[in-house]
Structures are given as C-alpha cells and as structure tokens.
Amino acid sequence: MKYIIILFLFISSCSTKTSKQSSSEIISSDKSEIDQNYEIQNLYDIDKEIIKNPKSPNVYLKRALYYQKKRNFQAALTDINRALSITPDVSFLKYHKAAILYELAVLKQDVSLIDESKIYLDNCIKEDQEIISARLLRAKIYLFEKKTEEAIKLVNQVLKVEKRVAEAYLIKGMVYHYLGNNKLASSSYQTAIEVDPNYYDAYIHMGMISEISDNYNAVDYYNSAIEIEPNNIEGYRNKGLYYHFNSEYNSARKEFKNIINIDSMFEETYFNIGNTFLGEYDQNKEDFILDSAFYYFLKAVDINPFYVQAIHNIGLCYEVKDDISKAKKYYNRAINIDNNYRPSLNALNDLD
C-alpha cells in the first residue's frame, strides 16, 4: 500500500517544464504578451506589475504560477481564469489551467477535477502540438487512469521530437514502475538524472525503486534529492518512511521533524511520528512511549479533525491501555467520518 500511495502523490509532483517556444508571443488585440520563460518572482513585484498593467494576461499568469508553486491552488485558478478571460484562445494558458487543476485534484483526491483538467489539456494539445509539457501531463493522467500503453506512446512521441527531456524519462520510468518492471523503471529514472543531474523527482523515484530492489542506496538517493531541494518535504517524508518500515524509529522521527520545520501544519507528519512511537512501543512496553504516540495523533487531529487514520490510532492507543470505552468512542468517530473505514469496523467487531 505504501508504494501505491507514494506513486500517486509523486505523479503530481513531477516538474512542469515549459515547451521550447519563443520567449513571448502577441496574443490579443491590445498587444499584451505572454512570457513563457521567466523566473517566478516574489508576490510584491508581481502585484506591482498587475497594478501597472491590469489588462495583461501575462501578469496574471505570473501570479497564478507563484500561487501554484506555493500550493495555493484556488488562488492560482482565480488568476489563470483572469488571464484566460483576457485571451481565451491561448493554448498555453489552457495548459497551465489543466496543470493547476491536476495538482488540486491530487491534493483533494477529487477525480472530477482530473476530468476538468483533461478538457483543457486535450484542447491545448489539439490546438498546439509544440507544447511538450501538455503532452507530458496528459501522459501522467493516462498513467493515473491505468492506461499505460497510451502513456508510453505519448512519452515516446515527445522523445522523438526532443530526446533530452528529463521528465519524459521520469514518466516512462513511472509507467514501468507501475507495471512492476523495476529494471526498466530504474534505467529510465537514471536516464532522467543523466539528462538533468539536478532533477529532484528522479532521485525521489530512484529511492523508491531502491527500496524494493537489490539496490540498497535508497537513503543516498533521498539525500541527493534533499540536497537539491532542502525545503521540499517529499525527500524527508520518503526517507522517514524508509527508516520507519525498517524499524529505525529514532532516525525516522528525525526526518519527520525536519518536515515540521518546513510546514508545521502538515498533519500527516504528526501521524507518522505517532506511528514511530507505536512501533517502538511494540518493542518496549513503556507507558511514556505510548503517551508520545497519543500526543502526536492528537496533534494531527487538532490540525485536521477529519483525519480518520489518526482518529483510529487514538482509539488503538486507548485499547492498548485497556480503556475500552474511549477506544470505542474513537473507533465510532472514525466510522462516522468514513462509514467503510475497515480498520475501525474490524476493531469494534473484535471488541464486541
């Protein structure tokens, strides 16, 4: 289950590369420009540009990409919609809306947003075959839909046009990874790194492959990713999970606590730390260890009151303490949120 979840999350985290087009193009009757190659600025400078030129779709695209990078997808959608309202026929803007919708879909686990993303993406591809990033995103969606042949076909089309596209090799590796061909997956990820030695996502996926193969360099790959993007949580998360599943609980907690320093409101981190204490409690039945698990599960639920897994684990902690009444209370609370949450249903049946 771990690898299925991580695979889905990292489909969303692959970098969105722009296609090799001219740096700008005239797109409307008032001669506004869309600049497709620029560094994302700080918000203050972008807002000043918007005040100076409020009818330019370019400035709203810049702010949309800023918000997308900050994972504020609702704000990003608002701005990309503003850009599209000014110049509705620009295929490149449709690609960016599709990309934002896709990332929001993954965040919310909302398939309807994937469907909406596909509408904009398919229109973009139909209108402009030169936008490589659009075809790569479509390949990711094909993989999400388990349409592996279509995904590989689209990636190979991209590589025929441009052989040195690191993301294309990454997606190809993800397809092979999904199909269980770890040798070809590893080869594709390695090619992605050769094309772009600073490709964060490729190191992450090499780490994941290493965990389930005879290659024992998973931590080295995660460390390489962290060195490239020290403020990105995935490297610490995967490294922490690797240590956890190998019963190295202190090392796992160290990595998860690095995430807290980056994003103190990321509830999964507290849940994962709680699980390290549960694992440690299995080895050493000390009450303070179980109390620590309690603390972190409660912290996760404080941030997200609908965090079913954390609520269930609080019930589990009470069950371990032989406080059956409170255990049932939390199991029922989890079921009230998710009627089909099997761990809590099974726990209640066992207690009855």
Confidence of residue 39 (pLDDT cuts 50, 70, 90): low
| Residue with the larger pLDDT of the pair 108 and 222 | 222
Residue 274: pLDDT above 80?
Answer: yes
The model's pTM: 0.79
> What are the structural domains, with CATH classification, of the chain?
21-129 (1.25.40.10), 266-352 (1.25.40.10)
Please report, rounded to a whole number, the percentage of residues in the chain having pLDDT higher than 90. 80
State which H helix or E strand residue 288 sits in. helix 287-303
Q: In this structure, how many other beta carbons lie within 10 angstroms of the beta carbon of residue 234?
A: 20
- Flag whether pLDDT at 13 surpasses 70: no
Most confident of the ranges 13-17, 42-46, 60-64: 60-64
- Residue 5 above 60 pLDDT? no
pLDDT at 204: 97
φ, ψ of residue 162 in degrees (nearest 5): -145, 110
| Rounded Cα gap, residues 30 and 272, in angstroms | 53
Nearest CA-CA partner of 148 in 100, 184, 105: 184
Confidence at residue 235, expressed as pLDDT on a 0 to 100 scale: 96
Over residues 67-94, the pLDDT tens digits come to 998 889 999 999 999 999 999 999 999 9
pLDDT exceeds cutoff 80 at 197: yes
Distances (CA, A) of 322 to 256, 310, 315, 351: 29, 19, 10, 11
The predicted-structure confidence for 138-162, as pLDDT tens digits, reads as follows 999 999 999 999 999 999 999 998 9
pLDDT exceeds 60 at position 195: yes
- Residue-level pLDDT at 75: 96
**Section 225-251 average pLDDT:** 96
CA-CA distances (angstroms) from residue 85 to 81, 99, 311? 6, 18, 44
Q: What is the pLDDT of residue 145?
A: 93
- Looking at residues 58-75, what average pLDDT do you find? 93
Q: How confident is residue 50, by pLDDT bands cut at 50, 70 and 90?
A: very high
Average pLDDT taken over every residue of the chain: 88
The pLDDT of residue 126 is above 60: yes
The span from the CA of 199 to the CA of 215, in Å, is: 20
pLDDT of residue 352: 81
Mean pLDDT of 323-343: 96
